Amino acid sequence: MQRAKVKFMASISPADLAPEANYRSANLWLEALRNLRHSPSAVLGSIIIGALIIIAIAAPVFATHDPIKTMIGVPGETGRLPSKPPCIPILGCEDPQHILGLDLNARDLYSRVIFGTRTSLSVGIITISLSIVAGTALGITAGFMGGRVDNIIMRLMDVVLAFPALLLAISIVTILGPGLTNALLGITITFIPQYARLSRASVLSLKEQEFVVAERALGAKPLRIVLAHILPNAITPIIVQGTLGVGTAILDAAALSFLGLGAQPPTPEWGQILSESRNYLFTSPHLVFFPGIAIMITVLGFNLLGDGMRDALDPRLNRS
């Protein structure tokens, strides 16, 4: 019976089955792109994220001042006070060159918020990218190998998941020392189990498909099976989850910086700006309002895009 099964699989040939599976995967992405264009939330999220990326890349162009340079002692800036309120030019204010005012160290708040876009986006994207790479590698290894390897990897992931994510990140950064790099590492570790479990679930359903069984019957190496067939078909839910995770990672990075464990002064980072100004909420609310709005808009953009991608890639939805 086993010999007959192998002969039957050999007659199918992965050259017939595998391209068809990858063709379906490619078609899924093309259809998803078409659906995204008709999703208001995805379009709005893409516009927000695109604008933020442009601001982050061209931050020196958009900023009006050096984000870490104080205005005290600068020619033409005499008499300026720290935490100077915003100045809207159309309202005829006295100091139109500082449209969002000055912070507690007499630095231009607008420029710090602009450069904070670069810092926060970099942390969110790098964190999720590293988490996806590590988590997907562990999840695919566990799901494809099975047995003892699967048990060891997934029990380790369960241990990490047993801790609240932010508390675990705080513990890691406290041990390693405050700093943006250590904060990035701590947040990355907290996200790895999510992608490990997600990729493992996809592998468990894919490795029993006909094209994978045919490859095994013909003696294909496990690495080829994983890279050529399993990974391309399992990456869809991981990308959707990663898009949603960037917003959460930015929030976690801001929280660590707010606690003094992330970005250190004078680095312009939204959470760090909030931390410096938290005691002046009622006397100088603009110091808290503008970086808070920046965090809200960024997280909203990634959540809208992630929700739109999830709906676009869901085959159960009827879009007729």
Which domain CATH number covers 179? Answer: 1.10.3720.10
Distances in Å between the Cα of 5 and the Cα atoms of 2, 87, 210, 217 are: 5, 78, 12, 9
Q: Which of 16-25, 68-77, 223-232, 310-319 has the lowest mean pLDDT?
A: 16-25
Which residues span the domain enclosing 274? 13-70+96-312
pLDDT of the residue at 14: 45
pLDDT at 6: 43
Residues 267 and 300: their CA atoms lie apart, in Å, by 24
| pLDDT at residue number 227 | 76
Whether residue 4 lies inside any domain: the answer is no
pLDDT digits (tens, 9 = 90+) for 51-103: 999 999 999 999 988 888 887 766 555 455 566 667 665 555 655 577 887 88
Confirm whether 101 is domain-assigned.
Answer: yes
φ/ψ (deg, to 5) at 135? -65, -40
Give the model confidence (pLDDT) of 141-192 as tens digits. 998 888 899 999 999 999 999 999 999 999 999 999 999 999 999 999 999 9
Structural domains counted in the chain: 1
Whether the predicted pLDDT of 223 surpasses 50: yes
pLDDT at 34 over 80: no
If you average pLDDT over every residue of the chain, what do you get?
Answer: 82
User: Is there a domain that residue 215 lies in?
Assistant: yes
pLDDT digit string (tens) for 6-27?
Answer: 444 444 444 444 454 454 555 6
Residue 48, CA distances (Å) to 43, 109, 244 in order: 9, 21, 14
Structural domain contains residue 83: no
Give me the pLDDT at residue 12, please: 47
Mean pLDDT across the stretch 47-53? 95
Tell me if 277 sits within 8 A of 103, measured CB to CB.
Answer: yes
Question: At 207, is the pLDDT very low, low, confident or very high (cuts 50, 70, 90)?
Answer: confident
Residue 2 lies in a domain: no
Whether residue 193 is predicted with pLDDT greater than 90 in this model: the reply is yes
29-33, 116-120, 274-278: which has the minimum mean pLDDT?
Answer: 29-33
C-alpha to C-alpha distance for 33 and 26, rounded to whole angstroms: 11
88 inside domain: no
In a domain, residue 211? The reply is yes
Return the DSSP state at 283: T
- Note whether residue 80 is domain-resident: no
Q: Is the model's pLDDT at 39 over the cut of 90?
A: no
